[in-house]
Amino acid sequence: MVKARKAADHEKRVIDTYGLKKGEYAKLYTFQGGVCALCRRATGASRRLSVDHDHRTGEVRGLLCRPCNTLLGHARDNISFFKRCAGYLGLSPYAAMKQGWEAWYEDE
């Protein structure tokens, strides 16, 4: 009974907040393979996946776990941030310094 009520409350909240239609959260969850669209590890078993959306347009993008949703929000949807992340993982500032680079930071 409690579980069904929580599910109904969640469904109402995502409909009212994000404009999803009845059943669309579940459909999107299944479409994503039952995991966070970014990390692909979190399943939402202990905490439901968050509805990620574009704050400018309100358009829903997908379902994310809390850490991934927070990361995306911290980056403020800036693609350059994620390019820097990939570069950082490929060659860290310390590794570049050891290779004799003159500087790490460059304006974009």
pLDDT score of 15 more than 70: yes
| Contacts of 41 by beta carbon, 8 Å cutoff, 6+ apart | 35, 65
- Do residues 58 and 52 lie in contact, with contact meaning Cβ atoms separated by under 8 Å? no
- Do residues 92 and 99 lie in contact, with contact meaning Cβ atoms separated by under 8 Å? no
Which whole number is the average pLDDT over 23-45? Answer: 97
pTM listed for this prediction: 0.86
Domain 2-77 in this protein, CATH class: alpha beta
Domain boundaries of the chain, sorted by first residue: 2-77, 78-108
pLDDT of residue 103: 87
Helix (H) or strand (E) holding 60: strand 60-64
Q: What is the pLDDT of residues 45-99, one digit of tens each?
A: 999 999 999 989 999 999 999 999 999 999 998 999 999 999 999 999 999 999 9
Exposed, middle or buried: residue 55 (CB in 10 Å: 0-12, 13-18, 19+)?
exposed
